[in-house]
């Protein structure tokens, strides 16, 4: 079956977040090269450590569709499986259908992984709560046994073509300002404490609404978090 006549679904690989983070992203094939081979879709069990919703315009949608749509909403989950942290995203959702998921819940997620701008995202296809703790042990045992059995591969070295594109990419002014915001937060975090909004405003003299926008973007990219009310730290 060719791309012009149909769509071939790739298998969802049981893995840990670490395996994706340690893999190499092949932009040409839109997949991660991991110890389990080429991976486009994964299945993992993780804990929700943050949940956010955002109303967006239709042309912002990248993937996903739910029936009986009542609002143009994108839902974000930051997921932690103790080996790493990943941002999971679901587009065009009815937010009422996601009220059952909250911080602290353990979820079983299937979705497509991608990397853009240096950040990994998991585009949710299926998500459900894990009610049986033994499922976590069973899933981890499956992964460990596969590794012990030697059913793994060496991660190949990609050519430097993708890196060249990244280095030569002409960032917009907005991208540069967002990176400045991140640098200031990281600097204060490295000193053992974060920085509050007022401090950021003094160091980066831009309108409050623009500064808030960059902060929200960095939170959604899992680069910073709000450790207290209006106090921000980097991971």
Q: Locate all alpha helices (DSSP H) within 43-132, ordered by sequence.
A: none
Residue 190 has pLDDT above 70, yes or no: yes
Give me the pLDDT at residue 36, please.
93
Q: What is the pLDDT of residues 156-180, one digit of tens each?
A: 876 543 443 344 434 345 568 888 8
Least confident of 7-21, 108-122, 129-143: 7-21
Whether the pTM exceeds 0.85: the reply is no
- What's 208's domain CATH number? 1.10.10.10
Taking 80 as the threshold, does the pLDDT of residue 82 lie above it?
yes
State the pLDDT confidence band at 116, using cuts at 50, 70 and 90: confident
CB-based contacts of 71, cutoff 8 Å, min separation 6? 55, 94, 95
Q: What is the mean pLDDT of residues 72-89?
A: 92
Residue 158 belongs to a domain: no
Q: Quick check: 209 pLDDT over 80? A: no
DSSP 153-175: -PPPPPPTHHHHHHHH----HHH
The pLDDT of residue 31: 93
pLDDT at 194: 87
**For position 213, what pLDDT does the model report?**
78
For position 35, which CATH number holds? Answer: 2.40.50.140
Count of domains in the chain?
A: 2
Average pLDDT over residues 114-122: 88
DSSP H helical ranges for the chain:
17-21, 133-148, 161-168, 173-190, 197-203, 208-220
Evaluate if residue 67 carries a pLDDT over 60. Answer: no
Is pLDDT at 205 greater than 60 in this prediction? yes
User: What pLDDT score does 71 carry?
Assistant: 52
Residues 140 and 195 occupy one common structural domain: no
Domain co-membership, 212 together with 145: no
Q: Which residue, chain included where needed, has tokens 């053992």?
A: 192
Full residue range of the structural domain in which residue 45 is found = 12-152
Higher pLDDT, 46 or 1: 46
Specify if 165 maps to a domain: no
Same domain, 130 and 226: no
> Range with the lowest mean pLDDT among 135-144, 152-161, 195-204, 208-217?
152-161
pLDDT at 210 over 50: yes
């Amino acid at each position: 079956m060719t791309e012009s006549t149909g769509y071939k679904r790739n298998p969802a690989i049981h893995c840990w977040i670490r395996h994706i983070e340690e893999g190499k992203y092949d932009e040409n094939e839109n997949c991660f090269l991991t110890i389990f081979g080429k991976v486009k879709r994964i299945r993992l069990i993780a804990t929700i450590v943050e949940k956010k919703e955002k109303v967006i315009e239709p042309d912002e949608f990248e993937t996903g569709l739910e029936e009986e749509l009542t609002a143009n909403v994108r839902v974000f989950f930051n997921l932690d499986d103790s080996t790493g942290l990943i941002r999971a995203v679901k587009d065009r959702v009815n937010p009422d259908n996601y009220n059952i998921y909250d911080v602290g819940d353990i979820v079983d997620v299937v979705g497509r992984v991608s990397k853009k701008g240096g950040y990994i995202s998991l585009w949710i296809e299926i998500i459900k709560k894990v009610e049986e703790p033994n499922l976590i042990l069973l899933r981890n045992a499956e992964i460990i046994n596969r590794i012990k059995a030697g059913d793994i591969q060496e991660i190949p070295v990609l050519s430097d073509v993708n890196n060249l594109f990244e280095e030569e990419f002409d960032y917009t002014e907005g991208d540069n300002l967002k990176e400045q915001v991140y640098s200031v937060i990281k600097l204060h975090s490295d000193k053992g404490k974060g920085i509050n909004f007022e401090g950021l405003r003094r160091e980066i003299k831009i309108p409050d609404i623009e500064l808030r926008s960059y902060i929200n973007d960095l939170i959604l990219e899992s680069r910073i978090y709000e450790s207290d009310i209006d106090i921000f730290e980097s991971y």
